[in-house]
Chains A and B, each alone.
Chain A
Amino acid sequence: MRFCTRRATLRVHGAGARLYRKYLVRPRFSSTLASESVRGGQSGTQKSATASSTYSKIASSLYDVVIVGGGISGLSLAAGLKSSQYTSNLKIALVEGMPLASAKSWSPDPDRYSNRVSSITPASQRYLSQIGVWDHVYSERVQPYDDMRVWDGVSGARIHFDAFHLGTEDGTIAYMTENLNLQHALLSHLNDSPSDPPVMILDNTKVEAITKGQNFDDLDLSSWPALKLSTGDTIMARLLIGADGVRSPVRAFANIESRGWDYNQHGLVASLDMEWDDRQRIAWQRFLPTGPIALLPMPDGKASLVWSTTPKYAAHLKSLSASAFCTLVNAAFRLGMVDLEYLMSRVDEEEIREDFEWRDARLPIEAEGQQFPIRVVEVQEGSRASFPLRMRHCDTYVAPRIALVGDAAHTTHPLAGQGLNLGQGDVASLLRVVEKACQQGSDIGDEVVLQEYWAERYPVNHMMLGVIDKLQKLYCTDFPPIVGIRTVGLEVVESLDWVKKMIMKQAAGA
């Protein structure tokens, strides 16, 4: 009410009006920029008209939150901010280098699945439903699973998780979802749910440079990051979010060190057709000395493959014919290490098939679909792709007016299917922090405010990254003493249900 009185008084005098405008954009008077751009044009005198037009130009380039990266983390943060009553009036821009039109108008072919697939834990799924995104997901293309079978390829020791160990009612361990499906859902959600002001999505726009903002008149923007875009515009952010992946330009600007190492493995992904739809909702993973191979269920007898292997093998597997590739995937789940190594050294399709059938016929029939998945018969054309695997973790996720989320802050091995979920955890946590800041009227770009987000997420992510890293190292060897130790260890865990329950609780993101 005091504000209103003051505003009414000030509007009468020209000089006073200028003074008012200068104060207005200052954070301490207003925690958001939402309505200022609208007010910018109101001016009384000729003298203030030029200042006013410059002001409106500046004001239109100022945002409360600028998110760099239109991936799942970036989009879900934007959706999250818009879904909260405390943050929905923030002025948000999202900058993405690639066009998002295709993801927005995605109309999937029911027979084909994208090879970029993620495992969404119940915690991430809950968060996505909370912000209203899950309703926009094509649910017929989402495959929940309630059973997980993991075994050691060298010794054959096994561990089996099912709904019992999860302890939840519907018993879903995770949901297999195409990344594109989620991205599409997020974009349609942003499109469908009206918000004021709407999220400004600047796709097909590259960030050319990030600099410190300049003082304008006596408007102090020196601490605000300014992004020079490929469209020629410059936008400034009260809070800049780096959701821009492993090689994050935002992180480079903030001068945050990212530490870690490369795994000297490539993750080979592919979309597969199984022999039939066995209606089992099982995620399979076998640890081979060259890296784990995982087969994740998709609807209608389809499956998604993530095969972490040496770069040499990955290149070889991509170069093989489709049928030879399927045979080798089957071999990797069924045959002994010596057989697999031998088959990997062959190139002739017919020879690989005959040799595989000979070894495969020796396996007991009752193990089919129980100890290893049923056969893969087809690989979707053009769905084989590989990328290098690495572990990276930033020293900090926050700097003044900057926060990093998702892959920009941490990258991990896909063996536990946690990459996207850690990112969702970051987004949920950052959202809580920003919400709280808005409620309390603090500056959302203040490092002290953001520190809370970092303090909450760093230990969680660090532990997960560490565990995954140690598992990767433990299983990437066939040195007999190590194999012996890990086999006994796995059998201990397998026989203790309370340990399995604890593991599942952690993996589900509880």
Chain B
Amino acid sequence: MRPRVLTNTYILPSVRLLKRDYTYNAPTQNYPSHVPTNLFQKLFLAAGSGIYSFFDPTRADLIATLGETTAFPFLMERLRDIMLSDPTGRRILRDRPRITSSSIHIDRLLDYPENTIGRTYAEWLKREGVSPDTRARVRYIDDEECAYVMQRYRECHDFYHAITGLPIIIEGEIALKMFEFANTMIPMTGIGAVLAPLRLKPKQRERLRTIYFPWAIKNGASSKPLINVYWEEILHQDVQDLRDELGIEKPPDLRELRKKRISRL
């Protein structure tokens, strides 16, 4: 889908520059957690967080900063427009749901029937030892609605893990990042998927290149936009049904592949 909207905020070499109206406009805070930044500050933050998180991929806060500072307005607007043109996506933008341990009762989800989305998600959280509360607030995206879109993407990230079954070990993250890039076009996911494998061993890179990247690009690009899934409402639904509905195939289990390879050695 090509971008439908190109706002004049993005046409930089504008004639308005000729009008010599160089009044300094103090940045305004557009939402409570907003930290207004200019282009230079964004570039600085992006470079710093990018370099640091390359060497320490566990720093989720830096990855979040990288994600926000590299998110070009037109790409975020494109993602927002994808939400706005879908009835469910529109409802999400209107309701502005947040995924936290207080909005979703993880313990109760464990009692859900086998293979439901809620159960899969809760089991995945338990297996990987993470909590939905570890997600940082969006700070550097200037548009308030686009900031929510980024927040939503970030909070749904764990659901993507859950339905694809990809673990949070670095290889799984990279595979999922590539999948997300093909699906959402958020630049950080693409940067991560391309640069992070440089730190991996050749065997791991080989596995990504031959198995996971082809899967991620094919499924990410052809499936329906995952940002339009109202996860809170479909926790009781069968996970396979959802995969069929979205058009996602489940990738080979990464942990199994690793175990197999280790036992062969």
Smallest CB–CB gap between A393 and chain B, Å? 34
Residue in chain A with minimal CB distance to B91: A355
What residues on A are CB-neighbors of B16 within 8 Å? 491, 495
Pick from B5, B14, B18, B90: contact of A154, CB under 8 Å: B5
What residues on B are CB-neighbors of A483 within 8 Å? 6
Judge if A155 is at the interface, Cβ distance under 8 Å: yes
Smallest CB–CB gap between B58 and chain A, Å? 37
Judge if B19 is at the interface, Cβ distance under 8 Å: yes
Judge if B261 is at the interface, Cβ distance under 8 Å: no
Judge if B4 is at the interface, Cβ distance under 8 Å: yes
Pick from B5, B19, B145: contact of A337, CB under 8 Å: B5
Smallest CB–CB gap between B150 and chain A, Å? 18
| A355 CA to B13 CA, complexed, in Å | 35
Smallest CB–CB gap between B6 and chain A, Å? 5
| A367 CA to B226 CA, complexed, in Å | 35
Q: Mark B18-45, 1 if CB is under 8 A from A, else 0.
A: 1100000000000000000000000000
What residues on A are CB-neighbors of B6 within 8 Å? 154-155, 480, 483-484
Known: A358-B94, A495-B19. A480 touches B7 (CB 8 A): no
| A486 CA to B90 CA, complexed, in Å | 30
Residue in chain B with minimal CB distance to A485: B11
Judge if A48 is at the interface, Cβ distance under 8 Å: no
Residue in chain A with minimal CB distance to B89: A342
Structural contact, B14 and A491, CB atoms closer than 8 A: yes
Judge if A15 is at the interface, Cβ distance under 8 Å: no
Residue in chain B with minimal CB distance to A359: B84
Smallest CB–CB gap between A38 and chain B, Å? 69
Judge if A156 is at the interface, Cβ distance under 8 Å: yes
Structural contact, A155 and B84, CB atoms closer than 8 A: no
Structural contact, B11 and A480, CB atoms closer than 8 A: no
Judge if A157 is at the interface, Cβ distance under 8 Å: yes
| A155 CA to B6 CA, complexed, in Å | 6
* A interface: dominant SS: helix
Structural contact, A484 and B11, CB atoms closer than 8 A: yes
Judge if A249 is at the interface, Cβ distance under 8 Å: no
Smallest CB–CB gap between B241 and chain A, Å? 26
Give the number of residue pairs across the A-B interface with Cβ within 8 Å.
50
| A336 CA to B85 CA, complexed, in Å | 11
Structural contact, B15 and A342, CB atoms closer than 8 A: no
Which B113-146 residues have C-beta < 8 A from chain A? 145
Judge if B238 is at the interface, Cβ distance under 8 Å: no
Residue in chain B with minimal CB distance to A481: B6
| A355 CA to B94 CA, complexed, in Å | 9
B: interface residue count bin: 20 to 34
Known: A342-B85, A355-B90. A495 touches B18 (CB 8 A): yes
Which A336-392 residues have C-beta < 8 A from chain B? 336-339, 341-342, 355, 358, 362
| A294 CA to B135 CA, complexed, in Å | 47
| A154 CA to B5 CA, complexed, in Å | 6
What residues on A are CB-neighbors of B18 within 8 Å? 495
Known: A341-B85, A342-B85, A358-B94. A336 touches B11 (CB 8 A): no
Judge if A49 is at the interface, Cβ distance under 8 Å: no
What residues on A are CB-neighbors of B81 within 8 Å? 336, 338
| A483 CA to B4 CA, complexed, in Å | 10
| A488 CA to B18 CA, complexed, in Å | 12
Judge if B2 is at the interface, Cβ distance under 8 Å: yes
Q: Mark A427-466, 1 if CB is under 8 A from B, else 0.
A: 0000000000000000000000000000000000000000
What residues on A are CB-neighbors of B210 within 8 Å? none
Judge if B263 is at the interface, Cβ distance under 8 Å: no
Residue among A156, A338, A491 having the largest count of chain B Cβ atoms under 10 Å: A338
What residues on A are CB-neighbors of B11 within 8 Å? 155, 484, 487-488
Structural contact, B15 and A336, CB atoms closer than 8 A: no
What residues on B are CB-neighbors of A487 within 8 Å? 8, 11
Which B180-238 residues have C-beta < 8 A from chain A? none
Additional A-B contacts beyond A336-B81, A336-B84, A337-B5 (11; CB < 8 A): A155-B7, A336-B5, A338-B4, A342-B84, A342-B85, A355-B90, A358-B94, A480-B2, A483-B6, A487-B8, A491-B14
